[in-house]
Amino acid sequence: MGNTNGVLVVGAGPVGLTTASQLARLGVPVRVVDLLEQPTDESRAVVIHARSLEMLAALGVAPRLEARGRRIDGLEIADGRTGATRAGADLTGIPSRYPFMLDIAQPDTEAVLAERAAELGIVVERGVELTALTQDADGVEVTLRSAAGDETARFGWVVGADGGHSTTRHLVGTHLEGGFHGQHFAMADVEVETSLDPGTGRMFTHPDGLAMLFPLRGSRARTIFLVDDPGPDATAPTLEQIEALTQERMAGRVRVTGSHWLTYFEIHHAQVPQYRPGRVLLAGDAAHIHSPAGAQGMNTGIQDAANLAWKLALVARHAADPELLDSYQEERHPVGAAVVRTTTALTGVGTTSGALGALRSAAMFVVGHVPALGEAAAERLAELTVGYRDSSLAVQHGGHRRGAARAGEHAPDPEGLRRPDGTPVAVEELLAQPGFLLLARGGAEELREVLGELGTVVEIGRDVLDADDVVGTHYGLGAEGLALIRPDGYLGLVADTADASVLRSYLADVLRVGAPAAV
Ligand SMILES: Cc1cc2nc3c(=O)[nH]c(=O)nc-3n(C[C@H](O)[C@H](O)[C@H](O)COP(=O)(O)OP(=O)(O)OC[C@H]3O[C@@H](n4cnc5c(N)ncnc54)[C@H](O)[C@@H]3O)c2cc1C
């Protein structure tokens, strides 16, 4: 029998590995199984956006990912016939410690996440497939099939991170709702020769269909082409076809010199109605599938994982009421729905005529809306606009200072904070401690008592110095006040008082935490 407090994570893709590592950091016993004997070598997702990097930074993997990837500072839309630039988006000014897209092949991302999981004591059980699942009021019983035979095990909770064809989803009796739009893409990871700047991602508009170029490390690049339906038997384009498409649609600016991975990809757009069927939580592609447009798929999944893990950790450790998990559905389902909606809008790609239509389609393809490719588009592309202002977990107590972040928004990470010894410190570094981060002006001692082992209280002016009042500017804290940052980096409670009773009632009434000392 498995530990009924423990969590089973089905799937060791990027979402399963992120979830499992976050759970392990928060002290939850976790098992991870994956039916594949070896990790996939398909490069699939090649972009990690700023918001995902911020979340992965808390796991301590951002530098390792950067070491394997390539920074992309901007995006450009060009005419595929002439090469003339039509629009561009500069990522260097976006409000993040990661003002770029990281182009990195998915096996590298998974290798880094697996390495981190191993450091946290997680052994990914490979060649182990979830084949059956039933749940009752107290737990989930599963059958895990491997070469050694069938094992029956019981867990408190199961996270289905088993991808687009999720068995977990099927076994809980839910299904994806959405549509098939019959759009096909030829994708290829190839070696290229080009004089184009490798620090820019490019989309080329062309009457025959869009083309995209994402430089990876070295001379490797991901190319994507909108193509006609290649037919049910065609699984991959030939290298010659990719060479021809590259030549035709990238204004002759890119030459293919070798190949790593070629595939056809058909767009489906769908989402499960319920991310939390009882004691089972669906995350990543198991919960939502959509086109690779804007490279949102894996990123949305990683952010699902960050949102889910801390809540599940509290619940699995009996520190919070399972009702807290309803906020996973509340917060993440709309985000997934928006991504699915955006990519569904791509049905216009290739059918719009004329330059404006093509440009519009192209811009939608990258950033999800018409080509006002300014700061707002860049922020949206980086997923920095994702927030939970309307969530039941977002509580703004008292007045709000104009320009400061509100409860539900992502915690700002301004320059200007220093440790007492004078060295600069980032909010991101403070968040690397597992659990909540409470920034407080006043009342720190009592706040520490109330927060207990749920997290860390940082007293501004004592633990961290703030000569320029950046906490006032960015968090709205006056002479007294507090900002409770959730483990996924979003602001839960922002108060214009440091009164510990405000924190106490937030934890008890909003997060439904009953025993703060437990996590
Ligand atoms: C061709 C292609 C190109 C893509 N390009 C991009 C892109 O550019 N940008 C982007 O963001 N996204 C892209 N995606 C999507 C991206 O790859 C996925 O969003 C991402 O892999 C989702 O991660 P995941 O962990 O949810 O699922 P997956 O990566 O699919 O991992 C699921 C894991 O679960 C395992 N599993 C499945 N069933 C079981 C079972 N019953 N028992 C045990 N284990 C099981 C699988 O073996 C697998 O390892 C692309 C996808 C494809 C197919």
Q: What is the pLDDT of residues 49-102, one digit of tens each?
A: 999 999 999 999 999 999 999 999 988 888 999 999 888 888 998 999 999 999
In the numeric block, the tokens 């192209």 are attached to: 362
Where in the chain do CATH 3.50.50.60 domains reside?
A: 7-69+104-176+272-347
Q: Mean pLDDT, the chain, as a whole number?
A: 90
Q: Does residue 318 carry a pLDDT above 60?
A: yes
Minimum-distance ligand 1 atom for the alpha carbon of 289: 19
Nearest CA-CA partner of 451 in 404, 387, 498, 407 = 498
Provide CB contacts within 8 A for 151, sequence distance 6+.
143, 144, 145
Minimum-distance ligand 1 atom for the alpha carbon of 286: 26
Provide the token pair at 318. 């009996």
Helix (H, G, I), strand (E, B) or coil at 339: helix
User: The pTM is what?
Assistant: 0.93
Query: 3-state secondary structure string, 168-184?
Result: HHHHCCCCCEEEEEEEE
Confidence band (pLDDT; 50, 70, 90) for 297? confident
Please indicate whether residue 340, judged by its CB atom, sits closer than 6 Å to ligand 1: no
Distance 207 CA to ligand 1 centre (A): 31
Distance 33 CA to ligand 1 centre (A): 14
pLDDT at residue number 40: 87
pLDDT at residue number 399: 87
pLDDT at residue number 380: 79
Please indicate whether residue 44, judged by its CB atom, sits closer than 6 Å to ligand 1: yes
Nearest CA-CA partner of 65 in 88, 79, 77, 47 = 47
Q: CA 442 to CA 196: how far, in whole Å?
A: 54
Provide the token pair at 96. 């993040």
Distance 431 CA to ligand 1 centre (A): 28
Please indicate whether residue 298, judged by its CB atom, sits closer than 6 Å to ligand 1: yes
Could you give phi then psi for residue 133, rounded to 5 degrees?
A: -155, 130
What is the identity of the amino acid at 388?
A: Y
pLDDT digits (tens, 9 = 90+) for 329-347: 999 999 999 988 876 664 3
Helix (H, G, I), strand (E, B) or coil at 508: helix
Provide CB contacts within 8 A for 338, sequence distance 6+.
none
Q: CA 409 to CA 360: how far, in whole Å?
A: 29
Please indicate whether residue 45, judged by its CB atom, sits closer than 6 Å to ligand 1: yes
Please indicate whether residue 292, judged by its CB atom, sits closer than 6 Å to ligand 1: yes
Please indicate whether residue 287, judged by its CB atom, sits closer than 6 Å to ligand 1: no
pLDDT at residue number 334: 97
Please indicate whether residue 480, judged by its CB atom, sits closer than 6 Å to ligand 1: no
Question: 71-99+179-268+349-375 sits in which CATH class?
Answer: alpha beta
Provide the token pair at 395. 């509580």
Residue nearest to atom 13 of ligand 1 (CA): 45
Residue nearest to atom 53 of ligand 1 (CA): 44
Nearest CA-CA partner of 98 in 57, 139, 130 = 57
What is the number of other CB atoms lying within 10 angstroms of the CB of residue 470?
A: 17
pLDDT at residue number 53: 96
Handedness of CA 261, 286, 308, 488 (dihedral sign): positive
Q: What percent of the chain has pLDDT over 90?
A: 76
Please indicate whether residue 215, judged by its CB atom, sits closer than 6 Å to ligand 1: no
Residue nearest to atom 1 of ligand 1 (CA): 44
Please indicate whether residue 35, judged by its CB atom, sits closer than 6 Å to ligand 1: yes
Distance 20 CA to ligand 1 centre (A): 16
Lowest mean pLDDT of 320-334, 356-370, 493-507, name the range. 356-370
Provide CB contacts within 8 A for 441, sequence distance 6+.
459, 460, 461, 471, 477, 478, 479, 480, 481, 482, 498
Looking at 345-451, list the stretches that DSSP marks H as alpha helix, in order from N- to C-terminal side.
Answer: 354-367, 375-381, 427-430, 444-451
Looking at 133-220, list the stretches that DSSP marks H as alpha helix, in order from N- to C-terminal side.
Answer: 167-171
Element (H, E) at 298: helix 297-316
Please indicate whether residue 295, judged by its CB atom, sits closer than 6 Å to ligand 1: yes
Q: Does residue 326 carry a pLDDT above 70?
A: yes
CB crowding 117-140: b at 16 or more within 10 Å, else e: beeeebebeeebbbeebebeeebb
Where in the chain do CATH 3.40.30.120 domains reside?
A: 395-518
The residues facing 484 across adjacent strands are 438, 493
Could you give phi then psi for residue 442, rounded to 5 degrees?
A: 95, 155
Where in the chain do CATH 3.30.9.10 domains reside?
A: 71-99+179-268+349-375
Helix (H, G, I), strand (E, B) or coil at 328: helix
Mean pLDDT of 223-239: 91
Question: 7-69+104-176+272-347 sits in which CATH class?
Answer: alpha beta
Q: What percent of the chain has pLDDT over 70?
A: 90
Q: CATH: 3.40.50.410, 1.10.10.60, 3.40.30.120, 1.10.645.10. Which one for 395-518?
A: 3.40.30.120
Distance 311 CA to ligand 1 centre (A): 23
Please indicate whether residue 13, judged by its CB atom, sits closer than 6 Å to ligand 1: yes
What is the identity of the amino acid at 199?
A: G
Provide the token pair at 247. 């030549």
Residue nearest to atom 27 of ligand 1 (CA): 163
pLDDT at residue number 516: 42
Looking at 31-140, list the stretches that DSSP marks H as alpha helix, in order from N- to C-terminal side.
Answer: 50-58, 62-68, 106-119
Residue nearest to atom 6 of ligand 1 (CA): 45
pLDDT digits (tens, 9 = 90+) for 445-480: 999 999 999 999 999 999 999 999 999 999 999 999
Looking at 69-173, list the stretches that DSSP marks H as alpha helix, in order from N- to C-terminal side.
Answer: 106-119, 167-171
Please indicate whether residue 188, judged by its CB atom, sits closer than 6 Å to ligand 1: no
Residue nearest to atom 4 of ligand 1 (CA): 44
Provide the token pair at 243. 């060479």
Confidence band (pLDDT; 50, 70, 90) for 180? low
